[in-house]
Structure 1
Amino acid sequence: MKELERDLGLSAVLAISIGAMIGSGIFILPALALGIAGPSVILAYFLAGLLVVPAALSKSEMATAMPEAGGTYIYIERGMGPLLGTVAGIGTWFSLSFKSALALVGGVPYLVLLFDLPVKPVALGLAAVLILVNILGAKQTGRLQVAIVVVMLAALGWFVAGSAASVQTPNYEPFFTGGAEGLLAATGLVFVSYAGVTKVASVAEEVEDPSRNIPLGILGSLAFTTVLYVAIVAIMVGVTEAGSIAGSLTPVAVAAEATLGTAGVLAVIAAAILALVSTANAGVLSSSRYPFAMSRDQLAPSTFATVSDRFGTPVTAITMTGVVVLILIAFVPILEIAKLASAFQILVFALVNMAVVAFRESEAEYAPAFESPLYPWMQIFGTVSGFLLLTQMGAVALVGAAVITVASVVWYLAYSRSKVVREGAATDLFRREVGRKVVDDTESFLTRETDDADGETILVALTSDASRERVRSLLTLGTDLVDPEKGTVTVVRFEEVPDQAPLDHAASVQSEGDVAFEERMSDLAADRDVHVEFGEIVSHDTKRAVVNLAEGLDVSAIVAEHERLRLRSRILGDPIDWVVRNAPCDVLLIENRGYDRPESIVLASDGGPYDPTTVAVADAIARSSSGTITLQFPMEDDQPDQRRQTIERYQDEIADVLSATVETDVRRADDGADRRPPDLIVQHGRTDRLGGGQQPHHYAGPETTEITVYPRASRSPSLPRRLVERLFF
């Protein structure tokens, strides 16, 4: 694949960044902001510039670590993952296209002051010229930006210098016309005036010496433009009577006419046209790089990554961006959509600050030549202030940003997800934090279980007739779970009788099954190191009888068989299903294929972290039987290496808190045909998966017993935590 030529120097970087800012932000928005905040619009421009500083620093840092075409998309995609990267890429591409169209439509009214021209046709013509210039190459684009910015700044400088003496102090009173609320609303409105400061990062792959030129270009242009904005707005307010420029389509020209006469108006018109064309040009340049970069990452069709042999530019990406700009100019009320673009830019800046934190705190390869000062407070300030500004943008802007976000998510799920296996640095960061939390919880739980083991009782519930071997297996499992010296295993045979039959009569009659059960239990309990009790209970409702007995005995766990393939279980549900959902304790359902002190035990994960209760069960069994636990975790071969390493580290940390011998195993979910089946599989169960029992585990052999552990409700993690574990683990 062709590489983009690095031919943009510091002067071009400054020109692109300044040119991307000085446009509609100063030639159109002051009139609207003045109507909201009054003279305090001056402070609004200063505050907006201040609030952009965290994103400017964050982008400067990430641009020196990843000098690639795509800018914001690249940083958010690498830091926050391909899903949010898609949202940022598509949303920023649209918002920049909106801003380019707005700049062109907003610039033509200044031209109309001199010539009687139709606005839309002229704007369409200018857009076509800029598209052609961008197709010809970045060097031509950079040179054009330098020329435009030099002329534009000269005209604006004359306006400021020539008008300063005409400032009237009474024009600034009262300063806070709109109060604090109006000031914040105006700050949110003019925030977009600075959005272009970081757009040069989107062409970082074409910048010479990016580790030097990008930070200098971004921070230098932001400082310069903030001072210039404040000075121009202060002059505009100071030389005109209150309200004279509010709502005007050409506010700077109105102010210039009051101080510099016709010559000043002509200079401002020239500056405005050049500035707005410059903004549109920078917008087309940077926005076209978003589909280009997304295509290279398989988040967009490959045609957008094609670089022209003749011009060395992504012609298809530029052309598509140009078409969108032309359509917006021709058919869409751009001034109304401008707020939508602004709202999404604020959101993207917040994500940019979050991405820096993700890179710094993760173990991703990240070595920026420039580091943001005051980390992480600068990023926290930028993120919080960004979301606060969003609340000032109005319902339409927020809904529009939400629509763009949802559309981007749909695109990712429908097109990109199957093609991408990358993860963002934040994903692994959250995964490691989730892992640490689960390890701490598991260690605390195991310690607490050891301390509370005195006098604990395990209830073995027999809800159907069972052979001697099956009863012996259940009893063995129960004794493996308790302290041999202080624990108790209670084995109860539950018999359900029809509602018409009196319970006292049924209880007084000892059936052959009762006799056989008591004889069997007397023999089985005789050679146990654990205290064993047994008996029978007759009831009209077996499931409620089990739960009531568990509450009465204050048992720590119920052990029962669960026949997955039995027709009654599959159609009507087994009574033990209800027990699982209502038991005051843990419930262990056993698919019994001859449990007898297993030597090889698999602690199975369903793709999430291991449940502490399930870990404790496996550890107790392995400790009692001197067996070995294998921590199994399913993972496809195409998963990122970082995910595999994080899971393996998590398994090692879990192994360190267990008392049994432990091995780890991270491999494909469908692999296992080449291995010897274990004696026992222990897995975590969820109540929404009962429905006749767990599905057979792919590691299980014909003689492998499976135990599914359902922790008591008080130990189940909250829904938000389960969602976080499922999302990031």
Structure 2
Amino acid sequence: MTKNLERDLGLPSVLAISIGAMIGSGIFILPALALGIAGPAVIVAYALAGLLVVPAALSKSEMATAMPEAGGTYIYIERGMGPLLGTVAGVGTWFSLSFKGALALVGGVPYLLLLFDLPLKPVALALAAVLILINIVGAKQTGRLQVAIVVVMLAALGWFAAGSAPSVQSANYTNFFVDGLGGLLAATGLVFVSYAGVTKVASVAEEVEDPGRNIPLGILGSLAFTTILYVAIVAVLVGVTDPGSVAGSLTPVAVAAEATMGQLGVIAVILAAILALVSTANAGILSSSRYPFAMSRDKLAPPSLSQVSERFGTPLNSITLTGAVLLVLIAFVPILDIAKLASAFQIMVFALINVAIVAFREGSVEYEPEFTSPLYPWMQIFGVATGLLLLTQMGTVALQGAVVITVGSIAWYFLYVRSRVDREGAATDAIRRQVGREALTEIESTMDENRNEVLVALTKNDGSARERALVSLAADLIRPDDGRVVAVRFQEVPDQVPLTDDMTVQSSADRSFETRTEALAEELGVNIEADEIVSHDTKHAIVNFAERRGVDTIIAEHEPLRLRSRLVGDPIDWVVRHAPCDVLLVDNLGYDEPKHVVLSGERGPYPPLAVNVAGDIATANDGAVSLWYPVNEKKADTQYETIAEYQSELSEMLSVSVTSESLRTDGGQPSQPDLLVRRGIEDSLRGALFDARPTFPNPGCTTVTIYSHDSRQPGFIRRLLERVTF
């Protein structure tokens, strides 16, 4: 019998956890760095950063009440966005927390050095090593210690703000926006990491009583309180010090306290700073080391990172790796760059949180939050847009760091994760469903279109059987619309031969062709017009004839041996690319009243033209349509469920019997069709991007390959989404 976690964390505890996770480097270190970027407008920067965190706070609150399980931001993003973005989020959050831990130590040690004359980096490295060792052996903060630290910090900071407020000089706020909007946004991005801990309570959501109420109230309440506290302290800090004297200082709050409260105030600030920053650094190591651990359990990282030490009961390898990164950052990265990188990664992760909630809401997974974010989805769109805006204003270090981590994470996914994981996120299924709905809408709209005239382009004199097959196919397509078939024999002569009037004289073969056409028209009960054209270039002649007559479709025989020469330029390929209408290429093995018509769905939703062709042929011959789709063991169950629903809706649109058949990719096929209809690869570039090699075996029957006109082709984004989601 499993043990359950007792929900005994009330609103005060939630507030203490969230506030304690935020107050630290955000107020003791960053004001001096941000002041050098934005001047007095740093006060507005803290308020703006708090405002821009609200969308992610609301999104995280909603997801935490829907999935109140132990875990961090990575869990929600991986479940919502899938393993690829889960990998990016996991690595990004790991680095963000590692940078924040390094920032706390590098920025906290100067406060300690106000009391002791010691070198900064060696002390920071020594403290980091001690904290890493503490995490390895399993010691951790208790809840009471965390509350005590928060109380001491708030008392010291409150005393500083209240005691220093009377000394504020209004002259210090002159030239408030001296660095303009760019400076304000850059400073806002820099201090963004100050609010990173606001959603930390979600990791203990299982232990919160009445989570639908206490989680959002705790997160939003702590955010509002901390924002007001930050703004008040920074406003006092700027107002009590000489303009520019604090910018660049390693101990800005101590400098301000000394100016207004003397040595006693300095000691109080030093005590609060050391407690806060050591606590932040320790929490950073503890939480960041759990990301490689969690990713390893989800097969996104090597299994060694999820191994728990038998001696200490902690994830030794994960903590060691995180500790090594922390030590390298402290030793070699300047504090300003650490702060920028920490904020940049946090902005990225918060943006992904806002996208993840859209995935959960629009997807098919079970998702029933007790609290729902207001102003959905505009609140989330605002969060993503402003996050991207901040990233662009933070300078090359932040942008390059974000790009490197993102590209590296994507490369890791394709090199390591993809072959080991078959999960997909809620977003993938939501996009797949939307793509499927759009495809069905297009199919429905094209069913009412009339096919008035079809050109059968005969380029080989192979006898009446092959000719009859192509004309019969065209007849079945135009019969519902009472259209016309134009059967044209195209004869190509060498360039050296002049096109004279003698060329227009009909041969016995031409007369025989017209006689056969007349007989077919009577037999098939459709209007068939015969013609012969002589030219120096058959492909141009076909396209010119189609343009001149305004035909709706061109039907021609496929030439498989020549079509392989795509880069050289096959004549029939040229017709496909330049035709003013749809083109059907036929691998002609005969056409004798096909009863079993297969519609192949190898690379996404079935194209509207392919559906209409398959439906018309089956209807004309009192047959049925089978929907083939490949079976792949690595595809997620949700993918097959969505495809099955899509096929079911498609079946209802057709007037013939429709069945769905799963097809193995190992060479087998469920049944022997009479005719197969499939999508063609439009050109070599798009084919390389969007169209995988056909997974189906040779069906052993006539195959009709569909090439829709460019005006009917889905756009780049749509094809990309089809390729990724289907």
Q: Distance in 2 between matches of 1:611 and 1:272?
A: 64
Q: Is the 8 A contact 2:106 2:330 kept in 1?
A: yes
Which residue does the alignment assign to 1:243?
244
Which residue does the alignment assign to 2:188?
187
Question: How has the CA–CA distance of structure 1 residues 656 and 698 changed in structure 2, closer, same or farther, with 3 Å as cutoff?
Answer: same
Question: How has the CA–CA distance of structure 1 residues 24 and 473 changed in structure 2, closer, same or farther, with 3 Å as cutoff?
Answer: same
Which residue does the alignment assign to 1:496?
492
Q: Where do residues 363-382 of structure 1 align in structure 2 (5 Å cutoff)? A: 363-382=364-383
Which residue does the alignment assign to 1:507?
503
Which residue does the alignment assign to 1:627?
623
Gaps of 5+ in 2: none
Aligned with residue 583 of structure 2, among 580, 583, 587: 587
Q: Does 1:677 align with 2:668?
A: no
Q: What is the one-letter code of the residue matched to 1:550?
A: A
Which residue does the alignment assign to 1:712?
709
What is the aligned-residue RMSD (CA, Å)?
2.9
Q: Distance in 2 between matches of 1:408 and 1:559?
A: 47
Q: Is the 8 A contact 2:518 2:528 kept in 1?
A: no
- What displacement does 1:14 show? 4.5
- Cα shift readout 1:279-298 (whole Å, capped 9, x = no counterpart): 21121121111111111110
Q: Distance in 2 between matches of 1:339 and 1:4?
A: 41
Which residue does the alignment assign to 1:608?
604
Q: Percent identity, aligned pairs only?
A: 67
- Greater shift, 633-642 or 280-289, is seen at 633-642
Q: Distance in 2 between matches of 1:104 and 1:188?
A: 21
Q: Where do residues 12-23 of structure 1 align in structure 2 (5 Å cutoff)? A: 14-23=15-24
Aligned with residue 459 of structure 1, among 450, 455, 462: 455
Q: Does 1:430 align with 2:428?
A: no
Q: Distance in 1 between matches of 2:327 and 2:620?
A: 75
Q: Where do residues 188-207 of structure 1 align in structure 2 (5 Å cutoff)? A: 188-202=189-203
- Cα shift readout 1:185-218 (whole Å, capped 9, x = no counterpart): 3222211111122234346567788666644543
- Cα shift readout 1:551-603 (whole Å, capped 9, x = no counterpart): 12111111111132479979976522221111111111111111122111111
Q: Distance in 1 between matches of 2:121 and 2:568?
A: 70
Count of residues paired in the alignment: 721
Q: Is the 8 A contact 1:8 1:142 kept in 2?
A: no
Q: Does 1:698 align with 2:693?
A: no
- What displacement does 1:415 show? 0.4
Q: Match of 2:197, SS? A: helix
Which residue does the alignment assign to 1:469?
465
Q: Distance in 1 between matches of 2:628 and 2:375?
A: 42
Q: Distance in 2 between matches of 1:410 and 1:508?
A: 63
Q: Match of 1:491, SS? A: strand
Q: Is the 8 A contact 2:559 2:572 kept in 1?
A: no
- Greater shift, 164-173 or 107-116, is seen at 164-173
Q: Is the 8 A contact 2:189 2:391 kept in 1?
A: yes
- What displacement does 1:126 show? 1.3
Q: Is the 8 A contact 2:630 2:696 kept in 1?
A: no
Question: How has the CA–CA distance of structure 1 residues 485 and 413 changed in structure 2, closer, same or farther, with 3 Å as cutoff?
Answer: closer
- Cα shift readout 1:112-146 (whole Å, capped 9, x = no counterpart): 21211011121112112222333344753545433
Q: Distance in 2 between matches of 1:533 and 1:650?
A: 40
Question: How has the CA–CA distance of structure 1 residues 694 and 8 changed in structure 2, closer, same or farther, with 3 Å as cutoff?
Answer: closer
- Greater shift, 178-187 or 284-293, is seen at 178-187
- Cα shift readout 1:671-729 (whole Å, capped 9, x = no counterpart): 644x32110100111232699x9988735443x11000111222222222211221223
Q: Distance in 2 between matches of 1:266 and 1:611?
A: 73
Q: Distance in 1 between matches of 2:519 and 2:142?
A: 92
Q: Distance in 2 between matches of 1:502 and 1:554?
A: 28
Question: How has the CA–CA distance of structure 1 residues 104 and 485 changed in structure 2, closer, same or farther, with 3 Å as cutoff?
Answer: closer
Q: Distance in 1 between matches of 2:210 and 2:324?
A: 33
Q: Is the 8 A contact 2:563 2:572 kept in 1?
A: no
- Greater shift, 229-238 or 209-218, is seen at 209-218
Question: How has the CA–CA distance of structure 1 residues 140 and 33 changed in structure 2, closer, same or farther, with 3 Å as cutoff?
Answer: closer
Question: How has the CA–CA distance of structure 1 residues 669 and 141 changed in structure 2, closer, same or farther, with 3 Å as cutoff?
Answer: farther
Q: Distance in 2 between matches of 1:94 and 1:694?
A: 36
Q: Does 1:305 align with 2:306?
A: yes
- Greater shift, 214-223 or 204-213, is seen at 204-213
Q: Distance in 1 between matches of 2:259 and 2:401?
A: 39
Q: Does 1:98 align with 2:99?
A: yes
Q: Is the 8 A contact 2:240 2:260 kept in 1?
A: yes
Q: Where do residues 344-493 of structure 1 align in structure 2 (5 Å cutoff)? A: 344-447=345-448, 449=449, 452-453=450-451, 456-483=452-479, 486-493=482-489
Question: How has the CA–CA distance of structure 1 residues 470 and 617 changed in structure 2, closer, same or farther, with 3 Å as cutoff?
Answer: same
Q: Does 1:726 align with 2:716?
A: no
Q: Distance in 2 between matches of 1:34 and 1:697?
A: 61
Q: Distance in 2 between matches of 1:12 and 1:376?
A: 30
TM-score using structure 1 length: 0.92
Q: Match of 1:483, SS? A: helix
Q: Match of 2:369, SS? A: coil
- What displacement does 1:378 show? 2.5
Which residue does the alignment assign to 2:523?
527
Q: Match of 1:482, SS? A: helix
Aligned with residue 687 of structure 1, among 682, 685, 688: 682
Q: What is the one-letter code of the residue matched to 2:384?
A: T
Which residue does the alignment assign to 1:83?
84
Q: Match of 1:630, SS? A: strand
Q: Is the 8 A contact 1:564 1:570 kept in 2?
A: no
- What displacement does 1:165 show? 2.6
Which residue does the alignment assign to 2:25?
24
- What displacement does 1:277 show? 1.1
- Cα shift readout 1:369-411 (whole Å, capped 9, x = no counterpart): 4333343333222222222222221233112201110000001
Q: Distance in 2 between matches of 1:422 and 1:9?
A: 33
Q: Distance in 1 between matches of 2:7 and 2:320?
A: 22
Which residue does the alignment assign to 2:120?
119
Q: Distance in 2 between matches of 1:528 and 1:329?
A: 84
Q: Is the 8 A contact 2:190 2:339 kept in 1?
A: no
Q: What is the one-letter code of the residue matched to 1:686?
A: I
- What displacement does 1:66 show? 3.0
Which residue does the alignment assign to 1:228?
229
Which residue does the alignment assign to 1:280?
281
Q: Is the 8 A contact 1:5 1:206 kept in 2?
A: yes
- What displacement does 1:483 show? 3.0
Question: How has the CA–CA distance of structure 1 residues 388 and 689 changed in structure 2, closer, same or farther, with 3 Å as cutoff?
Answer: closer
- Greater shift, 250-259 or 203-212, is seen at 203-212
Question: How has the CA–CA distance of structure 1 residues 282 and 398 changed in structure 2, closer, same or farther, with 3 Å as cutoff?
Answer: same
- Greater shift, 6-15 or 281-290, is seen at 6-15
- Cα shift readout 1:527-553 (whole Å, capped 9, x = no counterpart): 231011112211111111111111121
Q: Distance in 2 between matches of 1:282 and 1:432?
A: 41
Q: Distance in 1 between matches of 2:216 and 2:87?
A: 25
- Cα shift readout 1:334-390 (whole Å, capped 9, x = no counterpart): 432321221121121111011112111212122334333343333222222222222
Question: How has the CA–CA distance of structure 1 residues 383 and 411 changed in structure 2, closer, same or farther, with 3 Å as cutoff?
Answer: same
Which residue does the alignment assign to 1:59?
60
Question: How has the CA–CA distance of structure 1 residues 682 and 138 changed in structure 2, closer, same or farther, with 3 Å as cutoff?
Answer: farther
Gaps of 5+ in 1: none
- Greater shift, 486-495 or 314-323, is seen at 314-323
Q: Distance in 1 between matches of 2:348 and 2:92?
A: 10
TM-score using structure 2 length: 0.93
Q: Match of 1:492, SS? A: strand
